[in-house]
């Protein structure tokens, strides 16, 4: 690229701090889920959702994860057996007790266990999780699409629908075109509004600020993309609120 923008050290430093903070948050969430064996108690699609969204929305994502999505601590097998030996179940049979415990933790997501049920979660957290579903797909699609010269939007829509599909299918137990249609109905508007925020900022920094002189192979470019994803999250919030309150999109996880 001719007359490429020479990035000041100060902007590189600031961008590095922001990107590193997001990466650290994502690694912490991934490590915490691995340590707690979260794949046994979480809807599996939520694992990449939390990890990916932490890269650009880490303060809110970490807060929502800790308060409403974090799997329970691992319990050592020996301690469980000892507890059961000294404290046998009272009242209902052991099978009924286990079943009741599973229902309590399953929340609204059809047999999967979650830190908090949807009914106990404030609307802000519910909307945040809903946006994060499409946000994770958009981020993957935009990062892949950036390297394929302008394929961002198509990949973002594709990945976004995939994330929503694997949120709906395990709950309903149905896989196929019907569930794909439900995913499209639930998340297409959300994906569009996320991309409006992201592409709006991309146009602002690429055309308005750097006049197409900012190259992809530097920290500043990806910091600008991180900011765009942050804006995309907030432009998708109102439509997700509308979709959920109208019953078009089901809150989960």
pLDDT 10s digits, 2-39: 688 999 999 999 999 999 999 999 999 999 999 998 98
- Highest mean pLDDT among 81-85, 148-152, 179-183 belongs to 179-183
Choice among 62-66, 214-218, 227-231 with the minimum mean pLDDT: 214-218
pLDDT at 51 over 90: yes
User: Distance between CA 214 and CA 206 in Å, rounded?
Assistant: 7
Both tokens of 106, joined, read: 């399953």
CA 214 vs CA 22, 79, 98, 179: distances in Å: 22, 57, 58, 41
User: Distance between CA 137 and CA 142 in Å, rounded?
Assistant: 8
Task: Residue 190: name the closest of 213, 208, 164 by CA.
Answer: 164
Residue 99: predicted pLDDT:
38
* Burial status of residue 42 (CB atoms within 10 A of its CB: 0-12, 13-18, 19 or more): buried
Residue 109: predicted pLDDT:
44
pLDDT 10s digits, 52-75: 999 999 999 999 999 999 999 877
Q: Where are the domains of the chain?
A: 9-72+118-245
User: Distance between CA 71 and CA 253 in Å, rounded?
Assistant: 11
pLDDT at 48 over 90: yes
Residue 223: predicted pLDDT:
97
Q: Provide, rounded to the nearest whole percent, the portion of the chain with pLDDT above 70.
A: 80
- How many other CB atoms are there within 10 angstroms of residue 228's CB atom? 23
What's the mean pLDDT in 96-124? 48
pTM comes to 0.78
User: Distance between CA 6 and CA 213 in Å, rounded?
Assistant: 9
Q: Which one has a higher pLDDT value, 55 or 156?
A: 55
User: Distance between CA 250 and CA 81 in Å, rounded?
Assistant: 38
pLDDT at 164 over 90: no
Both tokens of 86, joined, read: 């000294």
Q: What share of the chain is helix, strand, coil (3-state, %, to 5)?
A: 75, 0, 25
Which strand (E) or helix (H) includes residue 38?
A: none
Residue 78: predicted pLDDT:
56
Q: Provide, rounded to the nearest whole percent, the portion of the chain with pLDDT above 90.
A: 46
Q: Which one has a higher pLDDT value, 89 or 152?
A: 152
Contact 109, 43 (CB under 8 A): yes
Q: Is 187 helix (H, G, I), strand (E, B) or coil?
A: helix
What's the mean pLDDT in 168-181? 77
């Amino acid at each position: 690229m001719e007359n490429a923008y020479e990035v000041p050290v100060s902007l590189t430093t600031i961008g590095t701090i922001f990107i590193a903070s997001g990466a650290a948050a994502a690694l912490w969430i991934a490590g915490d889920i691995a340590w707690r064996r979260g794949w046994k108690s979480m809807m599996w699609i939520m694992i990449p959702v939390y990890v990916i969204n932490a890269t650009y929305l880490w303060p809110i994502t970490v807060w929502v994860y800790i308060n409403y999505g974090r799997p329970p601590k691992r319990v050592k097998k020996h301690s469980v057996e000892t507890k059961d030996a000294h404290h046998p179940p009272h009242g209902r049979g052991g099978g009924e007790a286990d079943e009741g415990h599973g229902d309590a933790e399953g929340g609204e997501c059809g047999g999967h266990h979650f830190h908090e049920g949807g009914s106990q979660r404030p609307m802000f957290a519910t909307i945040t999780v809903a946006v994060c579903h499409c946000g994770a797909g958009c981020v993957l699609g935009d990062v892949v699409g950036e390297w394929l010269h302008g394929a961002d939007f198509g990949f973002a829509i594709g990945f976004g629908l995939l994330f929503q599909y694997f949120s709906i299918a395990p709950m309903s137990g149905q896989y196929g075109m019907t569930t794909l249609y439900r995913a499209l109905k639930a998340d297409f508007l959300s994906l569009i509004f996320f991309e409006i925020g992201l592409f709006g900022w991309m146009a602002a920094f690429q055309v308005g600020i750097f006049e197409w002189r900012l190259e992809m192979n530097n920290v500043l470019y990806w910091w600008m993309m991180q900011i765009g994803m942050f804006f995309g999250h907030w432009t998708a919030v109102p439509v997700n609120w509308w979709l959920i309150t109208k019953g078009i999109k089901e809150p989960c996880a």
